[in-house]
Amino acid sequence: MGPPGALLQRRPAASFPWHDDRGLTLTELVIVGALAVIVVLALSAFYFGSQQMWISGSTQALTQRDATMLVGKLSQHIHEAGTADVVPTDANHDQLTLTYADGRPPVEFEWNDSDDRVHMSVGPDNKGNIVDHGPVVESPVTRFHLTRIDTTMVELTIAELQSANGDSVRIASRFTLLGR
């Protein structure tokens, strides 16, 4: 054994390179700061990109839901109708007029150029008034084409709805006039 207190002696700092009394150098701080900025920018870009994709998907889903609701409303009224008449109103839109055997007032589905939506109107009633029930769905409709195939069938050739972020949703369907 050596002299008393020999075990308590410190080794020189050079023998422990990870233990330096000087602290961090400016170069080390700059490198760590630059790496931190790169990580924060990458995480921010990922977050904002994910958020944009989510918003796009949500608006697309809402527009698809509106397209399904439009087809459902058309289906309900066409199935109950006895006759259907389709009249083109312009190059991209048609008007559908449904009449009923039980004496109910006629129902019209027509594109309205003031709000770019398909409206449902009922009438004329006993007083001769046609009542606009407003847009069937909230999404704007850029194309609304119908075809009467024969006396018992109406085809929605295309309904093209515009989502809030500019994407288009297209839907088509066929409906049978059942006169119920």
- CA dist 78 and 153 (Å) reads 9
- The pLDDT assigned to 54 comes to 86
Question: Two tokens at 34?
Answer: 């630059």
- CA dist 144 and 161 (Å) reads 9
Q: 9-15: long-range contacts (C-beta < 8 A, 24 or more apart)?
A: none
Give pLDDT < 50 ranges for the chain.
none
- CA dist 154 and 67 (Å) reads 17
- The pLDDT assigned to 103 comes to 84
Phi–psi pair at 113, nearest 5 degrees: -75, -10
Contact 128, 21 (CB under 8 A): no
- CA dist 90 and 70 (Å) reads 20
Q: Is 107 left (phi over 0), alpha (psi -120 to 50) or beta?
A: beta
85: three-class secondary structure by DSSP: strand
Phi–psi pair at 112, nearest 5 degrees: -110, 120
Does the pTM of the predicted model rise above 0.95? no
Contact 149, 137 (CB under 8 A): no
